[in-house]
Structure 1
Amino acid sequence: MTAPLAVVFDLDGVLVDSEPVWEEVRRGYVADRGGTWRSDTQDRLMGMSTPEWAEYLATDVIGGDATADQVAYEVIDRMSGRYAEEVPLMPGAVEAVRRLADLCPLGLASSSPRALIDIVLGHLGIAGLFRATVSTEEVDQGKPAPDGYLTAAARLEVPADGCVAVEDSSNGLRSAHAAGMRVVAVPHPRYPPAGDAIALAAAKITTLDELTPALLSSL
C-alpha cells in the first residue's frame, strides 16, 4: 500500500457545513427578489461555479431585471456576512486536514467563490496547509465537469490519477471521478448524493475521523 501523491478536498459539505447556509441565503434572496424556489433548485445548484449558479438564479429562478453579476455579488455579500458571524465547521475537519498534510501535499477544489474560500480557510487557520486551492469560478466549467480537479492537480504538479479526492455531493463525486481521481465519498446526511454518483467512489465514509492515511493508502 502506498500513499497518494496528493489529496484534494472539496470545501462545502466536506470541511464546512455550508450547504444549509447557502440554501438559506439563496432561498431568502430569491424570495426577496420575488422568484420561485423549486423542488430541484438546491440539487441543481450544488457544484455549479459562481457564474453558472448566478446565471441560473437570474434567468430561471428569479427572472425580471436581475443580472447574473448582480445576483452573484449580492448573494456572496450575504454569505460573507454569515461567515463573519460563524463558519459552520464539519466535525473533525481541521484534524483531518492536519492529519493528511503530514502524509502528502493537499489541494482544494471548491465551487465557492475565491473570496469565501479565503475567508473560511483563514478562519480555520489551515490555509497554509494547502499547496493549491481552486475556485471553479477560475476555470471554464464547474462541477460535474472535471476542470476544477484537473486544475488543482496541475497546480500541485502531480498527475490527476495519483490523487485522492474527498467529496460529498453528486456533482462533486462525478467531477473528481471524471478527472481520473480516486474518490472518497463523505455524504452529507441532509443532501445525500445520488446512487449513481456514490457508485463512482472508491470508498465511502460517514465522518472525517475515518479519513486516515491507512484508508487512503489502501485505495
Structure 2
Amino acid sequence: MSITAIVFDLDGVIIDSEEVWEEVRRGYVAEHGREFLPDTQDRMMGMSTAEWSAHLADEVGVPLPATRVAADVLERMAARYAESLPLIPGAVETVRALGKHYRLALASSSSRLLIDKVLETAGLTGEFEVTLSTEEVPRGKPAPDVYLTAVTRLGLTREVCAAIEDSSNGLRSAAAAGLTVIAVPHGVYPPAPDALARATLVVTSVTEVTPEVVAAL
C-alpha cells in the first residue's frame, strides 16, 4: 500500500534540541545536589513529561514533587526557545515540501506548551493536521500509544503511514505502532543498533526525505 501520511517527531527531527534538554535538566538536577544516573539521558529520550519528571524526582533524587520538577524544567526550556529556536537546517522546508504531497501529523515527547511554541515560531502550525504530545496518551515512547493515536486521528490505518524519528525510543515506538519507519540518527545521541534495525530507511539528514523518496518506500 502506498504511503499517504507522514508522522513527524519533533526533537531531533525538526529542532536540534536534545543537547538543550540535557543541559537544562542536568543543570536543574545539579542545583538540587544530584547527578544523572548512567542511563538517565538515554531513558528520558522519548519519555512523556510525567515520566521524565518522575524519573528525576523518584530515581535521580531531586527533592521536589514530579509536577514541580516538570513545571520548572519546562519553564526553562521555553525561555531557551524564546532566546533561540534550534531549528535543524532544512527541516522547515522539508515539512512544507512533504505537506504538498502527503497528510502530516506530529507525535512528540515534548509538552503541549513547547510543541505549540516551536510550531508557531517556526511558522509550521498550519502544516500539521494532527499534533500530539505524549502527555496526551497513556504511555510515552517507546510504547506505541502516541503513533497509534496520531494514525487514528488522521482516520487512516498504520499501513499507509510513515514516521520520521531519530532516537532509540522514538524508533521503537513508531515500529511498535506498525508504521513504516524512516530514521534520521542524531550525531550526538545515536540510536541503539536494535532500534535502528527497525527502520525501513536510514538517512543522514531530514532533507533527504523528499516526496520521491517516500513514494519509493
Query: Shorter chain as normaliser: what TM range?
Result: over 0.9
Contact 1:136–1:142 (8 Å) recurs in 2: yes
AA paired with 2:59? D
Contact 1:3–1:216 (8 Å) recurs in 2: no
Equivalents in 2 of 1:206, 1:144: separation in Å? Answer: 22
Contact 1:160–1:180 (8 Å) recurs in 2: yes
Counterpart secondary structure, 2:20: helix
Runs of 5+ unmatched residues, structure 2: none
> Structure 1 segments of 4 or more deviating over 2 A?
none
Equivalents in 2 of 1:41, 1:25: separation in Å? Answer: 14
Q: Structure 2 length as normaliser, TM-score? A: 0.98
Contact 1:141–1:147 (8 Å) recurs in 2: yes
Partner of 1:98: 96
Partner of 2:87: 89
Counterpart secondary structure, 1:166: strand
Q: Displacement, 1:27?
A: 0.3
Partner of 2:185: 187
AA paired with 2:29? V
Equivalents in 2 of 1:218, 1:31: separation in Å? Answer: 48
AA paired with 2:79? G
AA paired with 2:14? L
Partner of 1:217: 215
Q: Displacement, 1:100?
A: 0.4
Q: Structure 1 length as normaliser, TM-score? A: 0.97
Equivalents in 1 of 2:2, 2:187: separation in Å? Answer: 29
Contact 2:162–2:181 (8 Å) recurs in 1: yes
| CA offset digits 1:170-189 (Å, max 9, x no partner) | 00000000001000000000
Q: Displacement, 1:38?
A: 2.3
Runs of 5+ unmatched residues, structure 1: none
Contact 1:54–1:72 (8 Å) recurs in 2: yes
Q: 2:199 aligns with which of 198, 201, 205?
A: 201
Partner of 1:6: 5
Contact 1:91–1:207 (8 Å) recurs in 2: no
Q: 2:126 aligns with which of 125, 128, 133?
A: 128
- Percent identity of paired positions between Structure 1 and Structure 2: 57
Matched, 1:58 2:54: no
Q: Displacement, 1:62?
A: 2.3
Q: Displacement, 1:39?
A: 2.5
Answer with 206-215 or 70-79: which moved more.
206-215
| Count of residue pairs brought into register by the alignment | 217
Counterpart secondary structure, 2:141: coil
Q: Displacement, 1:11?
A: 0.1
Equivalents in 2 of 1:12, 1:205: separation in Å? Answer: 16
Contact 1:3–1:213 (8 Å) recurs in 2: no
Equivalents in 1 of 2:62, 2:25: separation in Å? Answer: 14
Equivalents in 2 of 1:161, 1:54: separation in Å? Answer: 34
Contact 2:8–2:163 (8 Å) recurs in 1: yes
